Amino acid sequence: MRIARSLARFLAAGMFSMAHVPAGYACGYDGLIGELSAAHPGSLSVAFALHDALARDELKALAPMPPLFGLMRANRMANDFGEQVKQMTGGVGSSASVLLIESGLWTRFAFRAGGVVVEPHVAGPKDGEAVIITSEAALKAILDGRLTIEQGLEKGLLKVIAPQRAHAGRSL
């Protein structure tokens, strides 16, 4: 009886904490997204490029996982992607937000003299911030050395939007 009561409290606490996630922070890993919509105007072209790359077996889809494990995998890959983000966006003093299109997960990178500050699971890009749009499958291929940044850009699997145009949807 004690175990059942403890389990019920644990589950209730978990559900309560998820119910208070601000709407701006919800991604596919939260299980709270009600409507399917593009997280950024530039994400649709990346989604079509991903579909084509998967169909041609140029990329491999990542194995489905329960939401918490998927979020952990995505955060780990985002952390490992920091150096490439720095090279694409200007280095020290700059910042960028990366969108993973499958989940709608945003991660912010701020580059300081002492290194990179990674802020996972943010609501989206800040005004004047560079935006990088990609997919988890492309990110995994980049990190594994099977896809270069240049190839990702050429194939449309990676889109970099300049800081001054972060909300205009124009890409470099």
DSSP string, 81-126: THHHHHHHHTSTT-EEEEEETTTTEEEEEEEETTEEEEEEEESSPP
Can you give the pLDDT at residue 170? 40
pLDDT at 108: 93
| Residue whose structure tokens are 């966006």 | 89
Give residue 152's pLDDT.
96
pLDDT for the residue 39? 64
Domains and CATH numbers, the chain: 38-165 (3.30.1050)
pLDDT at 164: 53
Give pLDDT, residue 140: 96
- Residue 117 is predicted with a pLDDT of 86
Average pLDDT, consecutive stretches of 10 residues, N- to C-terminus, the chain (172 residues): 45 34 46 50 89 95 89 90 84 84 90 85 87 94 96 96 55 42
The predicted model scores a pTM of 0.73
Compute the distance between CA of residue 172 and CA of residue 168 in angstroms, rounded to an integer: 12
pLDDT given at position 27: 56
Look at residue 83 in the predicted model and tell me its pLDDT: 83
User: Which pLDDT score is estimated for 162?
Assistant: 80
Is the distance from CB of 83 to CB of 111 less than 8 angstroms?
no
